[in-house]
Amino acid sequence: MNMKIPICLYGAALGVMLFLHVSGNSIAQSKATAQKKTKAAIQKARQDSIAQFRADSIHWAQVASIIADSLRRHADSLGRVEDSLKAFQFRKLENNAFDVGERLVFDVNFGPINAGQAVMAVAKTDTIAGRKCFRVDFTVNSHPSFNWIYKVEDWYYTFIDVETLAPWRFEQHIREGSYKRDFIADFDQVNGVARTSEGEYKIPPYVHDIMSAFYYARTIDYSVYAKGQGPTLFNFYKDKSNELFVRLLGRQELEVEAGTFRTIVVEPIVKEGGLFRSEGRIVIWLSDDELKIPVRVNTKVIVGSIDSELVQYSGLKGNLTSRIK
């Protein structure tokens, strides 16, 4: 409450009273008159203070009522969302591949040139729409010595449901040369809607973004597939969902800076449009064990080939049994 005005008036009245008291008794009539005026000023200040206090009390009571009503409506809304989530039967998938704390570092090579570094990290768990999620960060940065050719500062985030391994939120922030793009998508996995920074779109059940699809692919048992076969999932990119076929190409022993590994070689193929079709062919070498960490990623583009090779790893969920040396 605002008590400044009545307190100032009250203080002024006291000041006048003190001044007149110490000025002497030389003019008795003036003193009596001044005391009478001072008493009246004090009384008025008190009345103003009480009135202001009552007005402030009414105001804050009204504000408290509005806040309480808003909180009740918000609680009702949250209750409806929670009821909706409880009523929805989510799938539960086994994940022996990754967990919080995993960090993978890659050298990014453009032909014979070491152009930059990429880092994939399962940073922490967070809560989205009342669901526990892995927060996965992916950054790509060109080396300072390469910036004069083509500067890259890209970062991505995805929030992957711990149980369903489907995303609830995806962010893409691209800074490449003069090109800039910021894209955000919230995936309503209950009602089948992707609400993005560019529009709202229908999505199939358990649709993936370009990052969550990669982590989901690490949990698949490829031993059940013959060469040329593989699982199919849905991938959402920009404004549509497309089928994403993960084709098994075979197995290969591969040496990179982080070591020598037995690997599973796969190729993600989007049937129409999407990231992989528009930007070129991608082949991925995954460690041939339960973790299936990416050891190498090769991307064929119009101007050549980009290789990302594993140089460091830490915080793995289990034993990297595919490493030979």
Domain range list for the chain: 4-87, 103-314
Q: Which of 35-49, 139-153, 214-228 has the highest mean pLDDT?
A: 214-228
Angle at 20 between CA 17 and CA 21, to 5 degrees: 85
38 in Cβ contact with 80 (< 8 Å): no
pLDDT at 205 over 50: yes
Calculate the alpha carbon distances from 15 to 2, 127, 195 in Å. Answer: 22, 60, 65
Instruction: Give the pLDDT band of residue 21 (cuts 50, 70, 90).
Output: very low
pLDDT of residue 51: 54
194 in Cβ contact with 187 (< 8 Å): yes
Report the mean per-residue pLDDT for the chain: 80
Please say whether the structural domain 103-314 has been given the CATH code 2.170.270: no
Of the two residues 88 and 208, the one the predictor is more confident about is 208
Beta strands 113-128 and 103-110, pairing class: antiparallel
pLDDT of residue 97: 97
Instruction: Give the pLDDT band of residue 138 (cuts 50, 70, 90).
Output: very high
pTM: 0.71
The least confident of 45-54, 170-179, 303-312 is: 45-54
pLDDT of residue 40: 65
193: exposed, middle or buried (Cβ count in 10 Å: 0-12, 13-18, 19+): middle
pLDDT of residue 324: 95
Instruction: Give the pLDDT band of residue 82 (cuts 50, 70, 90).
Output: low
pLDDT of residue 238: 86
Calculate the alpha carbon distances from 189 to 130, 164, 246, 317 in Å. Answer: 12, 10, 22, 27
The H-or-E segment that residue 260 falls in is: strand 259-270
pLDDT of residue 150: 87
Instruction: Give the pLDDT band of residue 4 (cuts 50, 70, 90).
Output: very low
